[in-house]
Amino acid sequence: MKQNQSTEVKAAERNYRMDNLKCLLIFAVVFGHMLELFMGKNDSFKVIYLVIYSFHMPLFAFISGVFARFSPEKIRNHLIYPYVVFQILYLLFANSVLEKEAEVQFTTPYWLLWYLFASIAWNLLLPLVQGSGFTWKKKAAVLSAAFLACILIGFDNKAGYYLSFSRIVEFFPYFLLGVYYREWSDRKKAAEQPVRQCVRQPDRLAGAEGDAGPGGVFLEERIRKAAARALLAVCLGVLLCALICVIAENVDEIKYAWLYGSVSYETGHYSWRFRLLSIGAALLWLVFFLTAIPMRKLPLLSHIGANTMPVYLLHGFLIKLMSKTRLFNEIENDLFTGLLISAFLVVFLSWRPLVRLLSPLMRWEGSLLPVRKDVGGNSGKSAFRGIVEEIFHSRSERRNGMKRGTVGRKMNLR
């Protein structure tokens, strides 16, 4: 009983809007990497690629900030540990399967692992950018300084892939924005809590005749906010359509590397003005998604959003393998095939039994074997046994449900 109550509390506290947004973003990450395998065939593929890179990394940094809490143990177990493990795995994979000559080192993250390395740095900086002494004016000043550094880092030719320094600085403002957004959101929820409690008590809602009472006022306010949110989403959608048209018209002039965050202005032959415009575009996408993404739990999508780490860490192996085998050289309908494979990878790599099976590679829990805790808090079941039990338990539930449905139909016939 207590376990069910705790599960319900956790479900109520979960931020499904962020889960839904993470699902969209992780698909954008996988599909963006998939596009690299065949986007040279068509300019429209380049437009899609540039549009994806105009928002997916800034928004992922923002979400990382929303969920960030300074915890040395979490940084060690959930960030440093998987970085070391997958840096070794990817380098070994590059040497043995891709036939590269990559040196095993940890100062230059391999390909997509830069984000994990940057997350370590961002979380370590948390005590310096938040706390009880940080007023909103001070937070605004810190955030402005972070965006200024994001622009100025492009003038440094030495800041590149080494230690992911350029990307750490460039995407840090979005991470910081996520941290401050969470604090603002928490304060807003705390202010609205008394009104919500009043609405939940029917005995207190009865007012004078013809008076809607606080419940009616609260309902009207919710309807008004929903209408305003829908109108804002439409207006932002129009602006984003205009942005996509601008990208399409200048697709031959915009270089992919300008959006990677790892190339200086001089090396990439572009201006600080483009980075300023890219910041504006990313913020526009951010407001749009926060406005348009639903807050409720969505079937499958919310589950994927809650399990993006294995998708992020594992899909790179398959992308590199497809690149080596030149899979898309023999496929005519590249876009449809790429979308289909990307969707399959996202769903499969977030499959709960697979996530539990591979969890020892992604977080350190004090053991190399994934351990499940039972109701009493005792541990000892291996992930393999837990996965088998879960599969058979779900099957038995389906059989019982079918039996109950059959009995119900017979009773109805009687």
In our burial notation (b when 16+ CB lie closer than 10 A, e otherwise), range 217-238 reads ebeeeeeeeeeeeeeebeebee
- Could you tell me if 130 and 110 are in contact, meaning their C-beta atoms sit under 8 angstroms apart? no
Residue 230 in 3-state DSSP? helix
Give the DSSP H/E element, type plus range, for residue 178: helix 165-199
CA diameter of the chain: 82
CA dihedral defined by 220, 226, 231, 232, rounded to 10 degrees? 120
Question: What's the DSSP call for residue 372?
Answer: E
Percentage of residues of the chain with pLDDT beyond 70: 79
Residue range 89-125, pLDDT digits in tens = 999 999 999 999 889 999 999 999 999 999 999 999 9
For the residues of 49-107, what is the DSSP string, one character each? HHHHHTTHHHHHHHHHHHT----HHHHIIIIIHHHHHHHHHHHHHHHHTS-------SS
Query: For residue 176, what pLDDT is reported?
Result: 97
Query: For residue 314, what pLDDT is reported?
Result: 97
- Could you tell me if 213 and 206 are in contact, meaning their C-beta atoms sit under 8 angstroms apart? yes
**Residue 156 token pair:** 């440094």
Query: For residue 134, what pLDDT is reported?
Result: 85
**Integer angstrom CA distances of residue 255 from 30, 50, 405:** 20, 9, 59
* Separation between Cα atoms, residue 319 and residue 392, nearest integer Å: 33
Residues in the chain predicted with pLDDT less than 50, given as ranges, are: 1-9, 11-12, 203-210, 373-385, 387-388, 391-392, 394-395, 397-398, 401-414
Query: For residue 9, what pLDDT is reported?
Result: 42
Q: How far apart are the first and last CA of the chain?
A: 36
Query: For residue 299, what pLDDT is reported?
Result: 93
Query: For residue 190, what pLDDT is reported?
Result: 80
- Could you tell me if 17 and 289 are in contact, meaning their C-beta atoms sit under 8 angstroms apart? no
Alpha carbon of residue 33 to chain centroid: 16
Query: For residue 41, what pLDDT is reported?
Result: 81
* Separation between Cα atoms, residue 311 and residue 165, nearest integer Å: 24
In our burial notation (b when 16+ CB lie closer than 10 A, e otherwise), range 349-373 reads bbeeeebbbbbbbbebeeeeebebe
Query: For residue 393, what pLDDT is reported?
Result: 52
Query: For residue 201, what pLDDT is reported?
Result: 55
All residues at 6 or more sequence positions from 357 whose CB lies less than 8 Å from its CB, including other chains: 370, 383, 384, 387
The overall pTM is greater than 0.75: yes
